[in-house]
Structure 1
């Protein structure tokens, strides 16, 4: 299983742009001849995957069952574009998603923001798209939330309390808040506050709303969707910190999928008509109405810099 080794942040997030990104490396089983930081498609055609059924997984940030119907119209479009049936794979964890891709059982995926580097480095993930608004703007913010009556009114009040994170591969659910809290507010995990790991943004949000957690670091895009669906009331939550904007989940394919399939899948993302679909109903609540082209090298630069500041390295076993 891919494992992540972390050290603490040593620089403020506002200064991360000056940090080198050269430390990012792919697992030795991949090549990157063109230097774009993602795995090349194998030259040996015998290494190409050409499955009878394509498998798609959405990032496991919320109840996977909710998204079977949300994605169905898009998957039908994807099936028409590729000439193959497409199956929705309701993954329960980031680790399960990466393992499925490494094993060749997952071909197309949405990988959460913080998980993109490890998916690229260890699973041969080739991201090419991201959701965006009609004007091309994109992104979400990390929020630290608490509940009314918690006694936490500002970040300093987290001292001696428990902060819920999602998982160690999550950007807004762990890496960014840990870096920010230590570098900018001198709040150090295990010294000034303790951590709980909920396993997902929805779990963290519901845990705070029900006062199971003192506070939590979450992606506000998930919160927006949960409020829109009536899963949680905004009145049960108080935001005490909002970050700068980060890129959203990256959509892409496994590196050794047949090149013709990769081309057809890419085209399907950009030709999908969102109007009147369940996808529009779900993600339109947070202003996302289309897929736009992205590159891991450019759009995930700030995430790699956060990893570098935290001393994150990946061991792909």
Structure 2
């Protein structure tokens, strides 16, 4: 994926302990194609412009790590993180990032394991088979599926014939449907979206395991963002109403029934799972 930059000079005017900002620089983990991420964000960006009085620019990034580095290195102001990328950003910044809101659906998020093989009906059946995760830094496409595999006494690194990383959830589905791997693990929301849009045939590619729920995605900002701007952004998300045409469009594109406040403590289980899986230093 090409890194598309819309960054302009002079976005921040620093003065003493406060700063005036003309552009809100936003990005998201690339768990789908860049064109799809931009399509989903466009109405939300226009809405946030009205609510904040600022220009909002969406900058796709090349990979999950770039979204973390962009936020903590002051290249971005707000990022749509998965639970694991939020934990990584919090650790890398030494606590200098703050999650503002999440979807109601993110309180009890799930991953699905899919296959085309009739011989695979449970996680234990994956032993000796090939499996695709999404990105290595994906919560729902790698960390939590790996965690539940380990809990089922299946070690992806030693019990499977081969593991691959597709880079994105839709790419995982394509790999399974195309016979490149025996099975795949991905975000339940994107799986359902692909089924609803008839981009995958659930009679051929089927879900054989759905994980228990866990906290996942959120919108995160840097801790040094002015309090009044944090409040404007938070209130804008909380005000989204499916009963209005604008709210309905945005919420549907974001696969959300509504947004609710969140906090860093919600992601302690994700942090523990990452450490247990050896994906985060203890």
Q: Distance in 2 between matches of 1:120 and 1:169?
A: 14
Correspondence 1:202-217 to 2 at 5 A: 202-217=170-185
Q: Distance in 2 between matches of 1:189 and 1:252?
A: 31
**1:177 and 2:149 matched:** no
Task: Determine if contact 1:131/1:248 at 8 Å carries over to the other structure.
Answer: no
Task: Determine if contact 2:141/2:186 at 8 Å carries over to the other structure.
Answer: yes
Task: Determine if contact 1:59/1:249 at 8 Å carries over to the other structure.
Answer: no
Task: Say which SS state the counterpart of residue 279 (structure 1) adopts.
Answer: helix
Deviation at 1:234, TM superposition (A): 1.8
**1:130 and 2:97 matched:** no
Change (3 A) 1:225 1:303: same
> Which has the higher mean CA deviation after the structures are superposed, 123-132 or 192-201?
123-132
Change (3 A) 1:189 1:108: same
Change (3 A) 1:261 1:155: same
**1:305 and 2:277 matched:** no
Choose the corresponding residue for 1:77, options 47, 64, 85: 47
Deviation at 1:175, TM superposition (A): 1.8
Choose the corresponding residue for 1:189, options 131, 156, 163: 156
Correspondence 1:1-317 to 2 at 5 A: 46=16, 50-123=20-93, 124-132=96-104, 138-149=107-118, 151-184=119-152, 186-193=153-160, 194-274=162-242, 275-276=244-245, 277-284=248-255, 288-297=256-265, 299-313=266-280
Deviation at 1:265, TM superposition (A): 1.5
Task: Determine if contact 1:59/1:110 at 8 Å carries over to the other structure.
Answer: yes
Q: Distance in 1 between matches of 2:57 and 2:215?
A: 26
Q: Distance in 1 between matches of 2:134 and 2:17?
A: 35
TM, length-normalised to structure 1: 0.75
Task: Determine if contact 1:77/1:272 at 8 Å carries over to the other structure.
Answer: no
Change (3 A) 1:105 1:51: farther
Deviant stretches of 4+, over 6 Å: none
Counting matched residue pairs gives: 263
Task: Say which SS state the counterpart of residue 90 (structure 2) adopts.
Answer: helix
Q: Distance in 2 between matches of 1:314 and 1:52?
A: 38
